[in-house]
A and B are shown apart, each in its own frame.
Chain A
Amino acid sequence: MKKTQGGALALAAAAALFASPALAQSAGVVAPEFRWLTFLVFAAIIGLTMFVTYRAASKVKSASDFYTAGGGISGVQNGWAIAGDYLSAASFLGIAGLISIYGYDGFMYSVGWLVAYITVLLVIAEPCRNIGKYTLADILAYRNNPKATRIVGAISVIVVSTFYLTAQMVGGGVLVKTLIGIDYKISVVTVGMLMLAYVIFGGMVATTYVQIIKAILLVIASIVLVLLVWSQYGFFGGFLENAVNDPKIQARVVQLLGDKSAGMTATELGQRFLEPGLYFTSPLDQISLGLALVFGTAGLPHILMRFFTVPSAKEARVSVIWAMAIIGGFYVLTLFLGLGAAMKVGAPNILLADRGGNMAAPILAQYLGGGADSMLGNFMLAFVAAVAFATIVAVVAGLVLASASAIAHDLYVGVIRGGSATAEEQVKAARIASLVVGAMAIVIGIAAEGQNVAHLVALAFAVAASANFPCILLTLFWKRCNTGGIVLGMIVGTLSAILLVLASPNTEYPNTVRNNANTAIATQTARIETLNAELATAADAARQAEIRTAISSSEAAIASARANIARVEGRTTNLLGLSEPLIGLRNPGIISIPLGFLAVILGSLLWRDPRSEALWDEVYVRQNTGLGAAAASKH
C-alpha cells in the first residue's frame, strides 16, 4: 500500500518534469530535439533512487529505523552519504562557477568547506555518536533539563534547516528551470515531491542511499569532465600555463580590473587570474565566513544526524575520513573544472546563462561533448543536469529529515508526550512531521521565487556555528556547563547571527535599490540616445540590427529598474527598520560565534543545576568510551 503510493508519487513527479514545453534553446539548456536524452538520463536516475526507496520502505519499522537507519550503515557508506549530503548545489555548481569567473579566490573559497571536517572529526563525530540517539537535542538533553534543552535545540535545528532548505529549494528551482527548461514552480514541486517520497517511505535508509548514489554520480561526472579538460589543455603545470595564456581569461581579468589593468602584458593579465583579490575584497568578511564554515559544519543538524546511523564511534571516524577524501578530492577537481570552463566557455557566456556563475560546469560539459548541436554535448549536459537535480533532492531530503526529527522526536515525543510513545506512534509522528516540513519547503520555495537567497546558506552556517556548536562543545567538554548555559547560548547565538545579517548589507535597503535603479535608468537612457543617433547614420542592415538589439536590451534594463522602484515603492527601511546597513560585515560569524560561547559560559555560571553536574561523570565516561551507546539493530 505504502509502496504503491510511493510509486505513484514518483510517477507524478516524473510526469510533471516533462509535461511542460521546452523553452527557447540556449547555452546550458538541452535542445528540444535532444530532450529525449534528458528524459532517459533523468528517468534512469529517478528510477534507481525509487527502487532503493522501495526496497528500504519495508525495513522502516521503528523510530530508530526511520531516523538513523537502525544504526546499520557502515562507515564507508556513511562517508559517501556525508559527501552526498554536504556537496550541495552551492558547492557543486557554485564553486566551479566562482573559479571560472574569479580564478584563485574561488579556489581559496573551497578550502574552508573541507577544513570544516577537521572540527567534525576531532571534536564532534565520536562523542556525538557515543552520547546521542537521533537528534542534536538528544546530546544537549543528556545532562541538562530535557524539556528546556529539547525545546531550544529543536528550534535552532528548525531555524538552521529552514534557512538551508529555502536556499536549496529556490536555488534548485532556478537550476532545474535553467537546465531542463521547465517552469520554476514545476521544478520546485517536482524536487519536493520526489524528496517526500524518499523521506516518508524510506526514512533514513532511503535518504542515505539516495545521498550515496548522488555522491557517486557527482564524482563520476567530475572525473570524466576533468579528464576531458586535461586531454585538451594538459595536466597540472601545462594546464595552468594554458590558462595564463588564454585570451578569454585575459579578457576577463581586464573586465574585472578595469583601469587598473592598463599597461599589463597579456601574460601578466592571465597570471593575475591565479592570484587573490579578484572576488574577496574584505579580509575581515572572509575570515568571518571562514569561522562560520569551520565551526558551523560541526553544528549542522543534518550532518550531525548522519553520525547516529553508524554502529560505533570507530565507524563514525571512518565515515569522516571517507567524507574528507571525497569532498577534498572533489574540490581539487573543481579547480580544473572552473579554469577549464573559463577557457573553453569563457566568462561572458557563463555569466549570460547565470549571473552567479552556477552554470559553468553544465555548460562546460555541453562544450566538451561537442557543443549545443551535438548529441554527445547534449547527453553530457543532460547527465550533469541530472546529477545537479539528484544533488538538490538528496540534500533537501537530509534537511527535511533533520527538521522532522526535531519536531517529532524532540518536540512531540520528548516534550509533549514526556518521552513515552510506542514505536508505531513514533514512526507515524516522524512521517507526519516529514510531510509537514516537506510541504512547507515546497510552499516556501514557490513563495520565495526571485528572491536573492544566496546569503541564506552562509546564514545557516553562521547560526550553526554561533548557537549549536558552542552548546554541543561545552556540554560535552565543560563540567560546569548546564541548562542555563544551553538555553541562553542557543537564544543568543541564533538571534545575534540573524540580527547581524538583517543589519548588514545582505538585506534589501529600499533607498539603495531606488538610487541604483535611478542611476541605471539615467545611464541606459543616455545610451539609447547615443544608439539612436548611431542608428540614423548606420549604413548596412547588419549593423542596424545590432544596434536595435542593443537598444532593446537597454530598454529591458530600464524596465527592470522601473520594476525595482515600483517594488520598493513607499518603503524606506529594510526588514529590521534600518534605512542603511548598520554594519559593513556580510558574515556575522566573527561577532556572533564569540557571543554564543560567552552566552553559554555566562548562563552556566549564573544558573545552578545539580543534575547537570551529577551527570557529568557519566557523560564524560560515555562519550570517551562508547559505554552504553545505542547499539545497531540487526537488519
Chain B
Amino acid sequence: MTTPNIDWAQAARDPRFVEMVEKKRKFLFSLMAFSVVFYFLLPLGAAYAPGLWATKIFGVVNFGLLFAISQFIVAWSIAFIYTRRANREFDAASEALKRDILAQAGQRA
C-alpha cells in the first residue's frame, strides 16, 4: 500500500503526535525498567539472600516460592496495565492522528 502524499516530517512535528509519543515512551520505559529490575531480583535474591528465600511464610511455603509466583502475577499485571492504557488512550490518539494525516494528504493530492 502506498501513501505518496503524506508529509511525514509535518506529521512527525504535529504537537499531538509529539505529545502522544512522549507519553508512550515514558510509560513504556518505566514499565520495562520495572519489569527487568523486578525479574533480576529473583536470581540475585536466590543466589545472595538464601536465608530470606528459605524463610517460611505459612506452612511449608517459603518467601522464595511466593516471590517466584509473584513474578507471574507482576508480569500479567504489567501486561494488563499497558493494554488498558493503550486501549483507552494511545489507540484513540493514533486513530485521530491517522485520520488527520490522511485528510491532509488527500487535500494535497
Partners in one complex: yes
Residues of B within 8 A of A287 (CB): 40, 43-44
Return chain A residues, CB-CB under 8 Å to B35: 115, 118, 122
B109 interfacial by beta-carbon distance below 8 Å: no
CA distance A207 to B36 in the complex (A): 32
Which A101-130 residues have C-beta < 8 A from chain B? 104-105, 107-108, 111-112, 114-115, 117-119, 121-123
Q: Kindly list chain A residues whose C-beta atoms are within 8 Å of the C-beta of B60.
A: 237, 240-241, 243-244, 270-271, 274
Q: Are B79 and A280 in contact (CB under 8 A)?
A: no
Which of A108, A123, A618: most chain B CB closer than 10 A?
A108
B50-109 contacts to A, CB under 8 A, are 50, 53-54, 58-62, 64-65, 68-69, 71-72, 75-76, 78-80, 82-83, 86-87, 91, 94, 97-98, 101-102
Given contacts A276-B46, A286-B43, A626-B94, A321 and B75 within 8 Å (CB-CB): no
Q: Known contacts being A276-B47, A276-B64, is A620 close to B72, with CB within 8 Å?
A: no
Contacts of B40 in A (CB 8 A): 287, 290
The CA of A280 and the CA of B47, in the complex, are separated in Å by 9
The answer to whether A621 and B43 touch (CB under 8 A), given A276-B50, A626-B94, A628-B3, is no
Say if the beta carbon of A550 comes within 8 Å of chain B: no
Q: Which residue of B lies closest to A631 (CB)?
A: B1
Given A118-B79, A320-B79, also A123-B46 (CB < 8 A): no
Check B76 against A237 for contact (C-beta < 8 Å): no
Q: Number of contacting residues on B, CB 8 A? A: 54
Residues from chain B with a CB closer than 8 A to the CB of A274 are 60-62, 64-65
A290 touches B1 (CB 8 A): no
B43 CB contact (under 8 Å) in A114, A241, A283, A629:
A283
From A240, A331, A629, B59 is in contact (CB under 8 Å) with: A240
What per-residue 1/0 map shows which CB atoms of A332-356 lie under 8 Å from chain B?
1000000000000000000000000
Q: Does A624 contact B (CB under 8 A)?
A: yes
Q: In the bound complex, do residue A324 and residue B12 qualify as a contact, i.e. CB atoms below 8 Å apart?
A: no
Counting CB contacts under 8 A, is A569 at the interface?
Answer: no
Cβ 8 A contact of A115, one of B12, B39, B54: B39
User: A625 contacts which of B80, B83, B86, B98 (Cβ < 8 Å)?
Assistant: B98
**Which of B1, B31, B60, B94 counts the most chain A CB atoms within 10 A?**
B60
A620 touches B39 (CB 8 A): no
CB neighbours of B91 from chain A (8 A): 314
Q: Which residues of A contact B83 (CB under 8 A)?
A: 317, 321
Chain B residues within 8 Å of A290, by CB: 39-40, 43
Shortest C-beta distance, B38 to chain A (Å), equals: 8
Instruction: Give residues 1-23 of B contacting A (CB, 8 Å).
Output: 1-3, 6, 8-9, 11-12, 17, 20-21
Give bound CA distance, A620 to B79, whole Å.
23
Q: Is A325 an interface residue (CB 8 A)?
A: yes
- Complex Cα distance, B14 from A617, in Å, reads 11
**Are B39 and A628 in touch, CB under 8 angstroms?**
no
* Closest Cβ–Cβ distance, residue A419 to chain B (whole Å): 14
Chain A: which residue is nearest B47 at the CB level? A283
The answer to whether A237 and B61 touch across the interface, beta carbons within 8 angstroms, is yes
| Residue in contact with B71 in the complex, picked from A111, A243, A618, CB distance below 8 Å | A111
Question: What's the Cα separation between A626 and B17 when bound, in Å?
Answer: 13
**Interface residue? A418 (CB, 8 A):** no
**CB within 8 A of A275: which of B50, B76, B82?**
B50
Point out the residues of chain B lying under 8 angstroms from A620, CB to CB: 12, 21
B62 and chain A: residue at smallest CB distance: A274
Task: Give the docked Cα–Cα distance between A107 and B28 (Å).
Answer: 28
| Bound CA–CA A271/B9 (angstroms) | 62
- Whether the Cβ atoms of A328 and B75 lie closer than 8 Å is yes
In the bound complex, residues from chain B placing their C-beta under 8 Å from that of A115 are 35, 39, 71, 75
* Closest Cβ–Cβ distance, residue A624 to chain B (whole Å): 6
Q: How far is the CB of B94 from chain A (nearest CB, A)?
A: 4
Query: In the bound complex, what is the Cα–Cα distance between A114 and B17 (angstroms)?
Result: 32
A326 to B20, alpha carbons, bound, how many Å? Answer: 31
Task: Say yes or no: A122 contacts B28, CB within 8 Å.
Answer: yes
Point out the residues of chain B lying under 8 angstroms from A118, CB to CB.
Answer: 31-32, 35, 75, 78-79
Provide a sorted-by-A list of 11 A–B residue pairs whose CB atoms are within 8 angstroms.
A108-B46, A114-B75, A270-B60, A271-B62, A274-B65, A275-B62, A314-B87, A317-B83, A325-B76, A625-B101, A628-B3
Other A-B pairs, 18, CB within 8 Å; known A618-B6, A627-B11 = A105-B46, A107-B68, A108-B68, A115-B35, A118-B78, A118-B79, A121-B79, A271-B60, A271-B62, A274-B64, A276-B46, A276-B53, A290-B39, A290-B40, A328-B72, A328-B76, A617-B11, A621-B17
